[in-house]
Amino acid sequence: MTTPVGPASPPPNGPALGGYDDAMSALYATLSEVQQSDASAGESQVADDQLQQQNEEAQQRAAIQKEQANQANSGGGFFSDIGHFLGDVASDLVHGRIGDAFEDGGHDLEQAWNSPKFWSDLETGLKDVAMVAGAAAVVVGSAGVAGAPIAVGLATAAAYTGAVAEAGSALAGARVAHFAAAAEDASADATADGDHIAQLQSLTSDVIANLKQSDQSHERALASLTQSIETNDQTLVEASSTTVKG
């Protein structure tokens, strides 16, 4: 990702000839130092950006995992979690581990509480119960109106069961909606992290491009200086030889 930058032009050869060459040599050295300084600053910024990028990538992975964990099909189902709970508690009780029974039971209940699939199954199941109970209430109620008083009591019980199941389904639905919202929030966080990563990559590209541009600029300046020193030396030599010939 970084561009190695070093002194592109060799330092002026030979001893300095006169004050002009001394000044040019000093300028050359200063420019070389500036070039190195720019390169170091650019490399440092690129390293910082890459470090920040790694952090963002870790956050994005965590957000994606959270999103997946909150999907409706994630976690154990209703019967699976109930089975685990009953199995663990029964096993602990059979082996006389009362304390473990509470601990394992609590752990299983916590898992069920945090399982989107458990609540999704519960909501669906309670909806089905409410539907069946409602239908039963209508059918049995019709019989009761027709003249069977005991059927009225059954119809009322079915209606109550349906209503309670409907309410339970609605409460389970709230929990399901909570998981869906958490998944959406996690998705938004993952998107934000992805945007930041793209932004950092763009920033790094800009820094590298500017670094290259700065480096090329320094190269040109150093080349011009070298040429200036050479031209000055040639002029001095030519002037000297002309004087000797004259």
Partner 1 sequence: MEPIQSGQSLPASLPGDEPALTTALVCTGDPGAEMAALAIENGDAERTNAHQERDAEEATEAQANAAEVQKMHDEASSMRSEGVFDAAMGVVTAAVTVAAPIAFAANPAAPAATMAQSQAGAARAGAVAGGLFDSMGKLGDSFFHATQHDDEASAAADRASAGQNGDAVKDANDTAAAAEATISSALDFDRSYSSVEGQIQLAALHRA
Q: Among residues 57, 88, 100, 185, which is the contact residue for partner 1, using CB under 8 A?
A: 185
Q: Is 178 in the site for partner 1 (CB under 8 A)?
A: yes
Nearer to partner 1, 98 or 223 (CB): 223
How far apart are CB 92 and partner 1 at their closest, in Å?
Answer: 34
Q: What is the DSSP string of 173-231?
A: HHHHHHHHHHHHHHHHHHHHHHHHHHHHHHHHHHHHHHHHHHHHHHHHHHHHHHHHHHH
**Binding residue (CB under 8 A) for partner 1 from 3, 54, 65, 227:** 227
Residues contacting partner 1: total by CB under 8 A: 65
Q: How far is the CB of 63 from partner 1 (least distance, A)?
A: 11
Q: How far is the CB of 189 from partner 1 (least distance, A)?
A: 8
Q: Which is nearer to partner 1, 96 or 149 (CB)?
A: 149
- Our finding on whether 58 is near partner 1 (CB under 8 A) is no
Cα distances from 110 to residues 33, 50, 167, 172, in angstroms, run 63, 39, 22, 15
CB nearer partner 1, residue 115 or residue 169: 169
Structure tokens at 234: 């040639």
Distance between CA 72 and CA 98 in Å, rounded? Answer: 34
Question: CB-based burial of residue 186 (10 Å sphere; 0-12 exposed, 13-18 middle, 19+ buried)?
Answer: buried
Cβ at position 124, least distance to partner 1 in Å: 14
What is the dihedral sign for C-alpha 72, 78, 83, 89? positive
Task: Return d(Cα 105, Cα 101) in angstroms, integer.
Answer: 6
- Is residue 91 close enough to count as binding partner 1 by CB under 8 A? no
CA–CA distance, 156 with 213 (Å, rounded to integer): 84
Q: What is the binding site for partner 1 (CB under 8 A)? A: 31, 34, 38, 41, 45, 49, 52, 59, 141, 144-145, 152, 155-156, 159-160, 162-164, 166-167, 169-171, 173-178, 180-182, 184-185, 187-189, 191-192, 195-196, 199-200, 202-203, 206-207, 209-210, 213-214, 216-218, 220-221, 223-224, 227, 231, 234-235, 238, 242
